């Protein structure tokens, strides 16, 4: 089963779609998978916007999502569904799953209805990203 990322928002004031790109994920075994991911993110995750610099020197804003854990198994499960990178900090014995950009936006849209603790953090991150996109200079307009 293949599932296309759809924006579902717990707050109707948020835009219905955060990205113009469609992102397709591996199918889920059950609807509980998204609820599990949301609960795990509520306890161990973080999201924010970051400014990146392109090769041409222009800056742009992206959404960044990460979850830290002492063992990599559950983070590998996240990678199997949403992709991303797994970083291992050998000196700390910790692991971190990270996704950015369109995948991060789609992930947050999917878990938002199920989050209990970090709903405000997700909404603030997405609104900040949307505002930065609106205020950024458009190609060809000066």
Output the DSSP codes for 29-64.
Answer: S-THHHHHHHHHHHHHEEEEEEEEE-TTS-EEEEEE
**From the CA atom positions of the chain, what is the Rg in Å?**
16
Regarding pTM above 0.85, the answer is no
Q: How far is CA 86 from CA 78, 82, 117, 132, in A?
A: 10, 12, 24, 28
State both tokens at 98: 């990270």
The predicted-structure confidence for 83-127, as pLDDT tens digits, reads as follows 999 999 888 789 999 999 989 999 999 999 999 999 999 999 999
The predicted-structure confidence for 7-64, as pLDDT tens digits, reads as follows 333 344 434 433 333 344 555 557 789 999 999 999 999 999 988 888 888 888 899 9
């Amino acid at each position: 089963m293949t599932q296309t990322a759809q924006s579902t928002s717990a707050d109707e004031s948020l835009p219905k779609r955060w990205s113009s790109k469609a992102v397709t994920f591996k199918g889920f075994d059950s609807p509980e998978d998204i609820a599990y991911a949301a609960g795990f993110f509520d306890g161990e995750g973080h999201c924010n916007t970051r400014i990146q610099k392109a090769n041409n020197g222009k800056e742009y804003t992206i959404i960044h999502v990460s979850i830290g854990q002492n063992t990599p198994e559950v983070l590998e499960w996240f990678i199997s569904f949403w992709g991303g990178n797994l970083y291992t900090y050998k000196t700390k014995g910790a692991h971190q799953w990270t996704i950015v950009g369109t995948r991060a936006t789609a992930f947050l849209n999917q878990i938002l209805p199920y989050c209990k603790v970090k709903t405000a953090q997700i909404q603030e991150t997405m609104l900040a990203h949307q505002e930065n996109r609106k205020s950024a200079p458009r190609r060809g307009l000066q």
